[in-house]
Amino acid sequence: MIEGQMGVNWDNWKRTVKAVEDLGFAGIYRSDHFTNGNTPDFDSLELWVSLVWVADNTQRIDFGQLVSPVSFRHPVWLARQGYQIDDLSGGRFTLGVGAGWQDREHNMFGFPLLSVKERLDRLEEGMQVITGLIRSNEPVSFQGEYYSLQDAHLLPKPRRKTPILIGGNGKNRILPMVARYADEWNGTSMHTTVLKERLELLDQYCEENNRSPSEVKRSMMTGLIFGRDDAEMKSKSEGRDINAIRERGMIVGTPSQVQDQLGELAETGIYRVMLQWLDLDDMDGLEALAKVVL
């Protein structure tokens, strides 16, 4: 998982995507931000442009966004661009959607972020728009506070119902939305104890919406501190308390320790873990991770 606002440009994006496919990873995902929450700012290759390149220049890997916010991505465009990129890739794309959260980029470019309640209300309307346009065979009409459609349809029709992912840890609004609208839930950096609680809640919400819990995939995006041996691990941890970092849900350690932590997540029912890879110049480290962990 690449933080797109932390220095991504065409050169390192193409190099990283090629490495991810060649080294055997399941997929590549990236954030959708203009900037970091605080200075300094770095290169930030536009998300949708970068994903079109992935769709047309890879053959195997899955890909998507974690996640695109409806606060500055209109849901009609998310639906239209999403399913057409999915078609271009041959069905390897997952459309990741969220409410938006970073004040700085919204203020910088004039996008209204709104209060937490309002942005979640807007996300729910956005999910109704997106699912209607992607999943309905008939024209869609919708009238809400934030969005409206009148006999709307998109052509060409999607080759498949592009999978929709909702990202976020909230148990009162996000998880019920996942159960109603999504094909996948993506949580962020949770210890397994908290994760299990969220997964049980999601099962309940699915049943309340007459869905089998097995219909909704569960994935998690989290940070990674990886060292090939104890010496490299000590250098990369920079004196931080490794156990405390793990308690926050990050994956930390040498190959065997990383394997053990991923195994614990798999036992909870998580099918995919998107690990943040922040050093886009460390291709040797990425190759080592693939060779000794995958």
CA 269 to chain centre: 17
pLDDT of residue 119: 98
Q: DSSP for 164-215?
A: EEEE---TTTHHHHHHHH-SEEEEES--HHHHHHHHHHHHHHHHHTT--GGG
Query: Which value, to the nearest 10 degrees, does the dihedral of the CA atoms of residues 115, 120, 125, 131 take?
Result: 150
pLDDT of residue 128: 98
What are the chain's domains? 1-85+95-156 (3.20.20.30), 168-294 (3.20.20.30)
pLDDT of residue 256: 94
Alpha helices in the chain (DSSP H): 10-23, 47-57, 75-89, 103-109, 116-135, 174-181, 192-208, 230-237, 242-247, 255-268, 283-293
pLDDT of residue 294: 87
What is the residue-level pLDDT of the chain in tens, covering all 294 positions? Answer: 999 999 999 999 999 999 999 999 999 999 999 999 999 999 999 999 999 999 999 999 999 999 999 999 999 999 999 999 999 999 999 999 999 999 999 999 999 999 999 999 999 999 999 999 999 999 999 999 999 999 999 999 999 999 999 999 999 999 999 999 999 999 999 999 999 999 999 999 999 999 999 999 999 999 999 999 999 988 888 888 888 999 999 999 999 999 999 999 999 999 999 999 999 999 999 999 999 998
Helix axes 283-293, 255-268, angle to 10 degrees: 60
How large is the C-alpha radius of gyration of the chain?
19
pLDDT of residue 24: 97
pLDDT of residue 239: 81
pLDDT of residue 142: 97
Whole-angstrom distance, CA of residue 128 vs CA of residue 142? 8
Phi, psi (deg, nearest 5) at residue 288: -65, -40
Alpha helices in 90-149 (DSSP H): 103-109, 116-135
pLDDT of residue 21: 98
Nearest to 132 by CA among 151, 145, 156, 159: 151
Helix axes 255-268, 192-208, angle to 10 degrees: 30
pTM for this entry: 0.95
Number of residues written out for the chain? 294
Start-to-end CA distance of the chain, whole Å, equals 16
pLDDT of residue 36: 95
